Amino acid sequence: MAASVLNSPGRIFGRAHLQYEAYAVDQIVSVRTQCAKGDGKTDDTAALQAVFDAYAGCKIIFFDAWTYFVTSTQDPGRHADDRRGLASAPGDSGTLEISDIIFPTVGPPQALLCSSGGGWSRSRRAKLANQKQKRLAPLEGLITRCARTIKPIAIHFTNSSSGYFEGTWVWNAGHNLDGTTGHIQLSLFSGRRILSESAGSRACGGLYVENSLHIFIFGAGHYSFFMDYDWTCLTANNCQSEIISIDAASRVNLFCVATVATTNSLSIGGSPGIKAAGNVDRFQSTFTSWSSS
């Protein structure tokens, strides 16, 4: 097992949920005390960037539980005069740690890049969502289908980066925000949500691994709920044939993986590796561990 995922006693690395109880109050700065409105309407781009410029690397920046509307890239880096729109840039070193925050979008963006890593180490408990704000007019007695193709990238690992993600959801959230009655079906199609060009260790989900080494995935869930808009495949657990695929050249370690409504929980080199039917645990199928090495 790669040393990068082990702690000093030689056990698999992990961290408890951050509480920040060891820090004094004067080591934390609230963005609301620094002119950020957080009302979901006011453009807080400049106010938040001013907070990053003044306090990144020297204080814990606290986002009060409000909605902060931004219209351009935020740079939480170390250089106030070098806004490259990255979490870090080539040659930078240090730690960027994010906890308990959601990055949604409003409206139909053509592209979204929530974070880009060029050497940063940890981003934790973040939700990355593409939320469409759209009105739908239902037709009485019919299912209204609204289909749209979106092209956001939620996370981009550059070729010198690595990351530790825990409790992270990366998904398209399609909701009819007006709460109209009737059967409304909103269909959203997107391509790559996580783009990883990293040569180092990383963990990600949803999942096809090709020509990769030192991939470690802990506690992942891979679910499929319908096929061609038909939910009946949930009963037979065959909405798709495979949901995790690993080629024969890769070296991967999987721990505590759950799948739903797929024939094979794991496929290796194009052939069934772990069949879901043999590992049913109530709603889902689970396996404790699997390693290709």
Query: pLDDT (tens digit, 0 to 9) for every residue of the chain, 293 residues total?
Result: 667 778 889 887 777 777 889 999 999 999 999 999 999 999 999 999 999 999 988 999 999 999 999 888 777 654 434 433 445 555 666 677 788 887 777 665 544 454 444 333 333 334 444 444 444 444 333 344 444 545 556 677 766 666 666 666 766 665 555 555 555 666 666 665 667 666 654 434 357 888 888 888 888 889 888 887 788 898 888 898 888 999 989 989 999 999 999 999 999 988 999 999 999 988 899 999 999 87
- Note whether residue 12 is domain-resident: no
Report the 10 Å Cβ neighbour count for 265.
27
pLDDT confidence of residue 80: 37
37 plus 82 within the same structural domain: no
- Note whether residue 2 is domain-resident: no
258 plus 284 within the same structural domain: yes
169 plus 215 within the same structural domain: no
193 plus 237 within the same structural domain: no
pLDDT confidence of residue 90: 59
102 plus 164 within the same structural domain: yes
270 plus 238 within the same structural domain: yes
pLDDT confidence of residue 135: 42
As given in the structure block, the two tokens for residue 16 are 């408890």
111 plus 190 within the same structural domain: yes
167 plus 207 within the same structural domain: no
Q: What is the pLDDT of residues 138-155, one digit of tens each?
A: 433 334 444 454 555 667
103 plus 179 within the same structural domain: yes
How many domains does the chain contain in total?
A: 3
- Note whether residue 262 is domain-resident: yes
54 plus 88 within the same structural domain: no
193 plus 229 within the same structural domain: no
pLDDT confidence of residue 212: 83
pLDDT confidence of residue 46: 94
| Final residue belonging to a domain, choices 32, 52, 71 | 71
Domain that holds residue 221: 203-292
Q: How far is CA 222 from the centre of its chain?
A: 13
Q: Among candidates 126, 125, 123, 72, which has minimal Cα distance to 103?
A: 126
pLDDT confidence of residue 153: 67
- Note whether residue 81 is domain-resident: yes
- Note whether residue 138 is domain-resident: no
- Note whether residue 142 is domain-resident: no
169 plus 125 within the same structural domain: yes
